[in-house]
Each structure stands twice: as C-alpha cells, then as structure tokens.
Amino acid sequence: MNAATTVRPFSTTHCHFLLLLTVLAGCLAANAAPLPDPAAELYWPQWRGPISTGEAPHADPPLTWSETNNVKWKTTIPGEGDSTPIVWGDRVFLLADIPIGTNDPALAVTLSANGSLPAPTNLYQFVVLCLDRASGKILWQRVARQETPHEGRQENNTYASASPVTDGQRLLAFFGSRGLHCYDFEGKLLWEKDFGKMKTRLTFGEGASPALWGGTVVINWDQEGECFITALDTASGQELWRTPRQAGTGWSTPLILERDGRRQVIVNATTKVRAYDLATGKEIWSCAGQTANAIPSPVAANGVVYLTSGFRGNALQAIRLGGEGDLTGTDAVLWNHAKNTPYVPSPLLTDKFLYVISGNDAIVSCFDAGSGQVYFEHERLEGIYGVYASPVAARDRVYILSREGACIVLQKGPKPEVLALNKLGDDHSDASLALAGKDLFLRTRHSLYCLSQP
C-alpha cells in the first residue's frame, strides 16, 4: 500500500508507543493526512479487518483446529445473526436478533403472491454483545431496540447481518431499520439515530455495515425507494451531510480511503460504483460496469480500487483512483474480468494477490492485482461447498470458510496449495472470520468460537 492511498480509518487514541513512532515517521515523510490509530492494525475493528482488505497484517492464527483441538473457548450466542465479530484489546463485540414469543417458522420462507416474504408476527430484541476475549464470558448485553420487523427477510439472511465497528473508544452497532446505536466499552448508550424503515427488493433483508474514519461514521441507505448516503459525527450522532442516490436495494459496505490528501467514500451498487467526498458528501466519480444486486465490498491498495459483483452476470473492475466524473470506458479502468466473480463474498487483497470466490460456491480464483494476470481460476476447493463468508488472510495463509462451518486454509501465492481442512460440528456459518493476535474468531449460527494456538 503506497503513501498516497491509506485504508486505516481510526483516530490517534490508545496508541502503542513504539508502533506510533514508526507510523508517525512514515506519515511525516510522506506529508500524509492526520495520523490514524496504529493500534487498530493489531485487532479486527471492522468487518473487513484493520486495513479493509480482509487481511490482518500482525495476526498469527492457528493453521488447524477441531472441536477438541485449539479451541480456546466456545460461547453460546442468544438468538441468531450473521454479524461478523469485531475485536479490540480484550473485548469482542457482535450483534444478534432474538425472537420473543412464538411464531410460525413457515412464515419465514413462504413467498407471498408478489414475491415478497411476509413480516414476522412476533417481537424481536436487537442486541449488542460484549465478550471477554480471554474467556468468552459475556460481559454485557444491551437491547438496542425491541420491535416487530416491518418486513420479512430471505431465509439465508438474518435481522443482525451488519457488523459493528469501533475506534477503540466507541462501539457503533447498526441494525438498519432499527437504527444506529453508539455505546462506550462498558455498554453505556451514548446516542442513537433512526433512519426510518428500509424497503428491500423482494424483502430479501438488510445487511450493509457502517464505515468509520476518525470521528466520522458513514451509513449507506440503498433501498426500493429514496436512497441516500450519510455521514454522522461519532461523538454526538449529529448528521454532517446527506446525499441522495439512485441505486435501488444494496448490501455493499462503503470503503473509506485517502488519495492525494482527499478522503473519499466508495460504494458499490447495482450496475455502478460511486465515490463521495468524506468531508462534504459531494460525488467525486462514478463508473458503470457492475451487475445487479452488488453485495461485495470494495478493496483497495496502491492507488487502485477493486469492485466485484456476480448476480446475473460477472464483473471485476480495477479502477485507478485520482479521476473525477464518469470514468466509464476511460483509461482509469486498468483491467476487468467477466467470469467467476462473487455474489455474496467480498474479495480478499493481500500483497499483490486478489482472491475472489465464484458465485457462492467453493470455487476460488486468484489474480495479480496490478496487471490482472490470472494466477489460477475456477479452482474447486474439495471438502467444502457453499461460501457466503468473505475470505481472510494472515501469516501467508488464506482462510476460506464454508456455510457448513468447515474452513480450508491455502498457502498465499500463485498456486492453490491447500494447507489444511478444518471442521467443527454441524452448525451453520455465514459470518466472516475475524483475526487478531493468535486468535481466530468463528461465528456459527448459535455459537462463537475463539480458536487459538498456544
């Protein structure tokens, strides 16, 4: 990652002194923007990791595990949710939805005449959980909202699919139509913000996570109705700006980065990606070429951002940052690929290697991020099947988690070399992995595991 493009969205509090000096020297040499918190790189503070690429640069998680091997702890999680856990210091945070009372389970998978899924009839609690990283003990649990959802959701989704984000002081938990809630690390509610009721395409449900840079949190509100993107002050919850969008329902989490001293928010969406000025909300550039139902989040490094989508078509675009206006068909699009791209999983960018899943299948491709050269393509991963979780990387390894809770570990590099195949019980898993230190956090539909090597 060069000095002109950084993807480290945190403030200067709670720094580790020696690491701070190292980063500070580099920032001063490059005349960079205000210093992010280098401690963030030691943890997993947001859904795609400390540098928003799926990689944990300082982690050393286990290579192998099972129900009886390298399990530091296993904690039962109430309700359900696909929220990926986040980690800071000695705390682990995640979200869940808990149905209260009785309901007919068939309602969750029965289509109405217009193709929409009916709303549930019982109350839900939308909860934020804080666990002790060392023991897995639930330190506190807060009900952010209690209500009956106004829409149904697709059977592969939950009402707690967005991941929280933290700057090391505040925890921001987003439940979409149930609002954005800001807590301190002891569980005290600092503020909350309601954005209304989202209407999703065919009531597939919600899922985009908030994005954070310093004292600003960004929420993207793409729906079947009035769409917008908005920025709020993390200290007060005050809305800083709101920009209308023409996008339709979307599930892609924004990426905030800095290029040539200007911070921009990049959002993938149906058929088109757009970038906004973080300070003002003004659109900087856009580029057509994505498919419908764009779910994967962007990744970026070395002045290039990578966009993927894979519903009723395939799209992978490498777009050079620095341009303005409509970049469609210009030389800002360095390369593209139109086969075997992901529907749900986001891409993984580690060093020069760009990994993508094909559709939602256990099929992986790897590209040279700079040139677009194909290292390998459509490589089937034996022993696992469907994949919703996004791949992650640490210690020259790539971890790909399947929906049945099995995980293949690949050697990072130009060949698909399998190092291990790890299996837990029979529980379902759609949440992505989180990596920090020697710990790997794996959420199934009913439990959270901390897998760690001694």
- C-alpha span between 361 and 156 (Å, rounded): 15
CA angle 50, 53, 57 (to 5 degrees): 50
Which residues, in sequence order, are bridge partners of residue 307? 317
pLDDT digits (tens, 9 = 90+) for 73-120: 999 999 999 999 999 999 999 999 999 876 555 544 454 555 567 788
How many CB atoms are closer than 10 A to CB 119? 13
pLDDT digits (tens, 9 = 90+) for 187-211: 999 999 999 999 988 888 888 999 9
- C-alpha span between 442 and 420 (Å, rounded): 16
User: Please, what are the domains in the chain?
Assistant: 5-452 (2.130.10.10)
pLDDT digits (tens, 9 = 90+) for 238-290: 999 999 998 888 889 999 999 988 999 999 999 899 999 999 999 999 999 99
- Tell me the whole-structure pTM to 2 decimals: 0.90
> Residue holding tokens 């994949």?
387
Confidence of residue 15 (pLDDT cuts 50, 70, 90): very low
Q: Which of 319, 284, 285, 315 is nearest to 301 (CA)?
A: 319
Q: Could you tell me if 429 and 445 are in contact, meaning their C-beta atoms sit under 8 angstroms apart?
A: yes
pLDDT digits (tens, 9 = 90+) for 312-343: 999 999 999 999 999 999 999 999 999 999 99
pLDDT digits (tens, 9 = 90+) for 166-179: 999 999 999 999 99
The mean pLDDT of 145-150, rounded to a whole number, is 90
User: What pLDDT does 24 receive?
Assistant: 32
User: What pLDDT does 23 receive?
Assistant: 34
pLDDT digits (tens, 9 = 90+) for 337-382: 999 999 999 999 999 999 999 999 999 999 999 999 999 999 999 9
User: What pLDDT does 248 receive?
Assistant: 84
Q: What mean pLDDT is reported for the chain? A: 89
pLDDT digits (tens, 9 = 90+) for 44-77: 999 999 999 999 999 999 999 999 999 999 999 9
Q: Taking 80 as the threshold, does the pLDDT of residue 451 lie above it?
A: yes
How many CB atoms are closer than 10 A to CB 201? 19
User: What pLDDT does 35 receive?
Assistant: 36
> Residue holding tokens 């509610």?
189
User: What pLDDT does 116 receive?
Assistant: 67
User: What pLDDT does 3 receive?
Assistant: 37
Q: Taking 70 as the threshold, does the pLDDT of residue 34 lie above it?
A: no
Cβ-based neighbours of 454, under 8 Å, separated by 6 or more: none
The mean pLDDT of 428-438, rounded to a whole number, is 96
User: What pLDDT does 286 receive?
Assistant: 97
Q: In what order do the strands lie in the sheet with 138-147?
A: 86-88, 91-100, 123-132, 138-147
Q: Taking 70 as the threshold, does the pLDDT of residue 159 lie above it?
A: yes
